[in-house]
Amino acid sequence: MMLLKTTILRNISIITFLFLGVCNSKAQGTKVDGVAVVVGKNIVLDSDIEKFKQEVELRSEGKITISDCEMLEELMQQKLMAHHAIIDSVTVSQGEIDSRVNRSIQYFKNEYGSEQKMVEAYGFNDVEDLKKELSRVQKENILIEKEQQKVTETIDVTPEEVRVYYKGLKEKGELPEIPAEIELANIVMYAQPSADEEKRILDKLSEIKKEVENGASFALKAIINSDDPAVTSNEGKYTITKDSPFIKEFKEVTFSLDVGQISEPFKSSFGYHIILLHKVKGNQREVSHILMQPEISDEKLKETKAAMENLVAQIKNNEITFEAAVKEYSEDKDTKQSGGLIMNPYTGEPTFELTRMPPDLFGRISELDQGDLTDVFYDETREGEKMYKVIIIKKKTKTHKADLQADYVRMQEFALAKKKEETLTKWSKEKIEETYIKLGDDFKKCTFEKDWKKETK
The answer on pLDDT for 53 being more than 80 is: no
The answer on pLDDT for 16 being more than 50 is: no
pLDDT at 32: 46
pLDDT at 355: 81
Write down the CATH number for the domain with range 2-178+403-443. Answer: 1.10.4030.10
Alpha-helical segments (H) within 153-193:
159-171
On whether the CB atoms of residues 69 and 443 are closer than 8 A, the answer is yes
* C-alpha dist (Å) from residue 434 to 380, 428, 430, 449, 455: 52, 10, 7, 17, 11
pLDDT at 28: 44
Q: Where are the beta strands (DSSP E) in 202-344?
A: 237-240, 266-268, 271-281, 284-292
On whether the CB atoms of residues 174 and 3 are closer than 8 A, the answer is yes
Burial class (CB in 10 A: 0-12, 13-18, 19+), 333: exposed
CA angle 23, 235, 99 (to 5 degrees): 45
Confidence band, pLDDT 50/70/90 cuts, at residue 345: confident
2-178+403-443 and 181-191+297-401: identical CATH topology: no
Q: Where are the domains of the chain?
A: 2-178+403-443, 181-191+297-401, 195-292
The CATH class that applies to domain 181-191+297-401 reads alpha beta
What integer best gives the mean pLDDT of the chain? 87
**Mean pLDDT computed over 386-402:** 94
pLDDT at 456: 44
Using CA atoms, how far apart are residues 420 and 150, in angstroms rounded to an integer? 11
On whether the CB atoms of residues 345 and 358 are closer than 8 A, the answer is no
**Mean pLDDT computed over 358-371:** 89
Fold held by 195-292? Chitinase A; domain 3 (3.10.50)
pLDDT at 62: 64
Confidence band, pLDDT 50/70/90 cuts, at residue 314: very high
pLDDT at 246: 84
- pLDDT tens, position by position, 154-201: 999 999 999 999 999 999 999 999 989 999 999 999 998 989 999 999
Which residues, other chains included, contact 39 with Cβ-Cβ below 8 Å and sequence gap of 6+? 76, 79, 80, 83, 435, 436, 437
- pLDDT tens, position by position, 166-178: 999 999 999 999 9
- pLDDT tens, position by position, 104-146: 887 777 777 777 787 887 778 888 888 888 888 889 889 999 9
